[in-house]
Amino acid sequence: MAVTIIVGSQWGDEGKGKIVDLLSENVDIVARYQGGPNAGHTVVFDGQEIVLHQIPSGILRPHTVCIIGNGVVVDPVALLEEIKFVTGKGIDITGRLFISERTHIITSYHRLLDKLQEAADGAQKIGTTGRGIGPAYVDKVDRCGIRFIDLLDFSVLKEKLTKNITEINTILDAVYKVDKFNIDQVVQELYDLGTYYKQFLAETSVYLYRAIKTGKEIVFEGAQGTLLDVDFGTYPYVTSSSPIAGGACCGLGVGPKSIDKVIGIVKAYSTRVGMGPFPTEFDEDFSTRVRSLGKEFGATTGRPRRCGWFDAVVVNHSVRVNGLTHFAVTKLDVLDTLDELKICTAYKKGDQVIDYFPADLKTLGAIEPVYETLPGWKTATSSIKNYRDLPENAIRYLNRISELTDVGIEIVSVGQDRKQTIILS
């Protein structure tokens, strides 16, 4: 029995949803540790594409318990919609979904502030998903956030919201010149939501502690990816939480010694949504081609994703900061028709070779990727079931990724369906 963390090794959208859903077949609990409705985990279920934003992907397996941890920020209005959507698909969530009492909530003022701040930043904007993620985490760290537990006590909720909204209304009026919030209305809306959410609230750290002690099979599911991490990503073009493996401990209240395995999900190429550095980005024509092959459009916002070559500098950064023990390589089939493939092995700045991911945006803007070129396989891979049946050049490509990073590949995904997966043991 084991505790496994699933992390995104690039800029998110590596296909974590599919891998978590796949692993859930043999898993008792899936727990999400950070992010919020900015995430979009696409899973194919009963032949239909389902996009989950806040509910862990394990919900699609009838025996799996799903936990939303304290490190997540939840939009209770959007989650209600998602619960309705999932139950509408015939999925029974009774007794299977728990939310930490400590989880912070995203309110209407966080959503509004996210959009106003991005609009005001113009060319310098981050390109956020506009879901209120940043402002909700700001309040958490600023110690004025609203937690699920607060929704259960009318007077506590009223006191906190009165203080917060009074301050925000001043800013809305003076800086943004938009309508102010009605405090009583927000208090009542959130209190009513609390009445509904009471059934899901639990001390999830205690629940997990007991589950680990009794040897349950558990997956900790991250959202976004390492290069969007607030510490180790392309700051400030990052999300406001810690998608890296360490985030699982803080975001769920578990100790590091209970983790047995850290699987890094790596896409066979690279993508990112939003602004910020992307060293191996394709030119616009090639980006358009790969985007359509890989259906690379944001699952949350529908925005076209920027596409590029596999970057071993990025993935090695991920191997290090997450302590990755295994890889799951996804979307290999998207590369089936390419004549040749490039892998970035290092960066160059003038004569200087840089073999780690730089912190400085100016350096990132000045570097040139150093590429190795490998032949394509020009063969359809999406119905291949065994590793040894993959085309020789595909195996060569995968081996090179493993060699450059010193991490073994455990899973190769060659299509969206659960069946389109090659498991290596």
Among all residues, which ones are annotated catalytic? 13, 41
Shortest approach of ligand IMP to residue 172 CB, angstroms? Answer: 20
Q: How far is the CB of 60 from Mg ion (least distance, A)?
A: 16
* Radius of gyration of the CA atoms of the chain, in A: 22
User: Between residue 158 and residue 177, which ones bind Mg ion under the rule CB under 5 A?
Assistant: none
271 binds, among Mg ion, ligand IMP, none (CB under 5 to 8 A by kind): none
Which of ligand IMP, Mg ion, none binds 127 (CB below 5-8 Å, type-dependent)? ligand IMP
**Residue 13 engages Mg ion in binding (rule: CB under 5 A):** yes
Residues in the interface with Mg ion (CB under 5 A) total: 3
Q: Pick between residue 194 and residue 276 the one whose CB is nearest to ligand IMP.
A: 276
Q: Is residue 253 near ligand IMP by the rule CB under 6 A?
A: no
150 contacts Mg ion (rule: CB under 5 A): no
**How does DSSP classify residue 297?**
B
Q: Which of 20, 68, 208, 223 binds ligand IMP (CB under 6 A)?
A: 223
Is 400 strand, coil or helix? helix
Give dist(CA 96, CA 92) in Å, integer: 8
For every residue of 162-203, DSSP letters joined together read HHHHHHHHHHIIIII--PPP-HHHHHHHHHHHHHHHGGGEE-
Q: According to the binding rule CB under 6 A, does residue 316 interact with ligand IMP?
A: no
359/423 with CB nearer ligand IMP:
359
Token code pair at residue 409: 């590949």
The SS3 call for residue 270 is strand
Q: Which two tokens stand for residue 180?
A: 């102010």
- What CA–CA distance (Å, rounded) separates 56 from 242? 17
* Binding status of residue 114 toward Mg ion by CB under 5 A: no
Q: How far apart are CA 106 and CA 355, in angstroms?
A: 39
Among the listed ranges 74-82, 120-128, 147-155, 367-375, the one in contact with ligand IMP (CB under 6 A) is 120-128
Residue 111 burial (C-beta neighbours within 10 Å; 0-12, 13-18, 19+): buried
- List the one residue from 134, 145, 222, 247 that touches ligand IMP (CB under 6 A): 134
224 binds ligand IMP (CB under 6 A): yes
Please name which of 324, 315, 305, 300 lies closest in space to residue 400, comparing C-alpha atoms: 315
Cα distance between residue 25 and residue 29, in whole Å: 10
Binding site residues, ligand IMP, CB under 6 A: 12-13, 38-40, 126-129, 131, 133-134, 223-224, 228, 237, 239-240, 273-274
Binding site residues, Mg ion, CB under 5 A: 13, 40, 299
